[in-house]
Amino acid sequence: MFPTTRLRRLRRTGALRDLVRETRVTAHDLILPIFIEEGLDDPLLIPAMPGVSRIPERHLAREAEAIARDGVRAVMLFGISRNKDATGSDTLRGAGLLARMTRTVKDAAPDLVVMTDNCFCEYTEHGHCGTIGADGDVLNDVTLDALARQAVVAADAGADVVAPSAMMDGQVGAIRRALDGAGHDGVPVMSYSTKFASAFYGPFRAASGCDLHGDRKAYQMDPANAREALRESIEDEAEGADMLMVKPGLPYLDVLARIRAQTLLPLGVYQVSGEYAMIKFAAQAGALDEARVVRETLGAFKRAGADLILSYFTRDVVREGI
């Protein structure tokens, strides 16, 4: 007890403070989500996400090389489709956008870990994450089958990790079986296991050109529920997930910490578009020091138990040093 104990002794700036630091964020922890649009001539700024642009598909190879050269180690691909239909069938074709962008990035930057967001919302006219039934609800089991086929298409194209984000029950198991059946038993599944129906996805919907009719409350989780988040994670682990994820990040640190205590799997967190926008706009208004706030939030994810972090700040952070 004080005065024998003085916690301030170890807080002095410099190497001593560094020696007792409990968590660190490095380039090895970070994944950069990127938006790729087919049929686009020039990069298109996303007004709700200052500093983020849609990459024209025809620039993707050189952009992937540049991203890798900057020190980014992993990317998550999101496609903006000109070929939408009721079921998102473009993603099931070996010549569709999902397969093409995966191949392009792998060819241009073979060392970059390529993750694909395994979902349909960017490829359906109605913007939902699967096929809609007569009652207007997304059909779980029909969508499962399609998700499994989509994951095989992504793996065939060279995806290093498939990341199902549709929040259909049973999606991890269905995808695992399909991958194994197609000879992709070495491709890991990172489940967006705990994905909340969050208002923080607002800027993403504009960024990804998703014109959502209604909302996703019938399949994404109620932000009020933490026990249910544990059930989702435990089920996904039992279905064969190799990694779990919590999304969004900062408003759900309690969920992250609780899942960390329940699983031995690597755990990811997604600092989503709305979290990015809040920091960017506050910094632009002079209210926050962007670099320091970014470091502090990424550090909070590690402290709460995340092993990997998806963040739109990844490239800046890796380029400028953390």
Q: Are 194 and 255 in contact (CB under 8 A)?
A: yes
Chain residues in the site for ligand PBG (CB under 6 A): 117, 119, 121, 129, 165, 201, 204, 216, 272-273
Closest CB to ligand PBG belongs to which residue?
Answer: 204
Of 83 and 262, nearer to ligand PBG (C-beta) is 83
- What is the rounded distance in angstroms from the CA atom of residue 247 to the CA atom of residue 253? 10
Closest distance to ligand PBG from the beta carbon of 19 (Å)? 35
HSE-CB for 30 with a 13 A CA cutoff? 28
Of 1 and 224, nearer to ligand PBG (C-beta) is 224
Closest distance to ligand PBG from the beta carbon of 117 (Å)? 5
Q: Are 229 and 221 in contact (CB under 8 A)?
A: yes
Closest distance to ligand PBG from the beta carbon of 20 (Å)? 34
Q: Are 79 and 122 in contact (CB under 8 A)?
A: yes
**Residue 84 annotated among the catalytic residues of the structure:** no
Closest distance to ligand PBG from the beta carbon of 272 (Å)? 4
Task: Name the active-site residue from 106, 195, 280, 302.
Answer: 195
Torsion over CA: 193, 95, 144, 185 (sign): negative
Task: Name the active-site residue from 84, 247, 280, 302.
Answer: 247
Q: Are 297 and 278 in contact (CB under 8 A)?
A: no
Q: Are 194 and 270 in contact (CB under 8 A)?
A: no
Of 58 and 251, nearer to ligand PBG (C-beta) is 251
Q: Are 244 and 172 in contact (CB under 8 A)?
A: no
Of 112 and 129, nearer to ligand PBG (C-beta) is 129
Active site residues: 195, 247
